[in-house]
Amino acid sequence: MELDGKKIELWAGKSIAMVNGNVVQMDTSPVVLDDSTLVPIRFVSENFGYPVEYKSETQTVKIKEPQKTGSKPESEVKKPVINSSFNYFGVWSLRMDGFSGGLLLGTLRVHEDGTYEIKHGINGTAIGKWRLSFPAEINGERIQAIVLLNGLTSVDWAVAPSDNSKIRLLYAMRWADGSVTWVFDSELYRK
């Protein structure tokens, strides 16, 4: 959805959204009901700058005119929130051969503001935004990962922990039917 130069992306059954390229956690997720998609009106309306007023006595919702107070201060801008005890932020070495002394392929910097930079000796360089993975998005695994949007070679990449506590860099291989398989590229080690 786009309105007044702002963009919101929602997915049925997902409780995260993209608001102007930033990942934001929602209280509830959109649902599909009888061929219609129902979205959380307060979330959508207020992120487009239109306040919502609910009157319980009449059970009505009123969408008000946009507030003309200017942009939000930096302290009020919603940052991506990771629901994990693992810290993805910082500088990482990309290494092949599965050990910290393995072949150095490059570096990855993941910033808390939802951006990243990656330099990969084989696949080039990319700068962009990241988002949280959807539940079971990474090959059906029950992990919290981050997805580097439109990364190296113009495909999505992911930073994901594995069962053996190692951190992997994966890339999305898209199939003709639209499905995605995440393929191992290298392991990440703190610099």
What phi and psi, each to the nearest 5 degrees, are found at residue 82? -100, 125
Which tens digits make up the pLDDT trace of 150-175?
998 889 999 998 877 788 999 999 99
- How many helices (H) and strands (E) in the chain? 1, 16
State the pLDDT at residue 84. Answer: 54
Provide the mean pLDDT of the chain: 81
The answer to whether the Cα torsion of 6, 82, 94, 181 is positive or negative is negative
User: Above pLDDT 70, what percent of the chain?
Assistant: 87
Q: How far is it, in rounded angstroms, from Cα 117 to Cα 23?
A: 17
For the chain, which domains are there? 2-76 (3.30.457), 90-190 (no CATH)
* Range with lowest mean pLDDT among 32-36, 142-146, 149-153, 184-188: 32-36
State the pLDDT at residue 155. Answer: 92
Cβ of 163: how many Cβ atoms within 10 Å?
A: 7
State the pLDDT at residue 101. Answer: 65
Instruction: Provide the H-helix boundaries in the chain.
Output: 41-47
Residue 133 has pLDDT above 90, yes or no: no
Cβ of 59: how many Cβ atoms within 10 Å?
A: 7
Q: How far is it, in rounded angstroms, from Cα 105 to Cα 115?
A: 20
3-state secondary structure of 167: strand
Which tens digits make up the pLDDT trace of 63-98?
887 755 555 544 444 444 454 556 888 999 998 875
Residue 105: alpha-carbon gap to chain centroid:
24
pLDDT band at 141 (very low <50, low <70, confident <90, very high): confident
State the pLDDT at residue 157. Answer: 95
State the pLDDT at residue 68. Answer: 57
State the pLDDT at residue 69. Answer: 54
Q: What is the DSSP letter of 71?
A: S
State the pLDDT at residue 181. Answer: 94
Whether residue 152 contacts residue 136, with contact meaning beta carbons closer than 8 Å, is answered with no
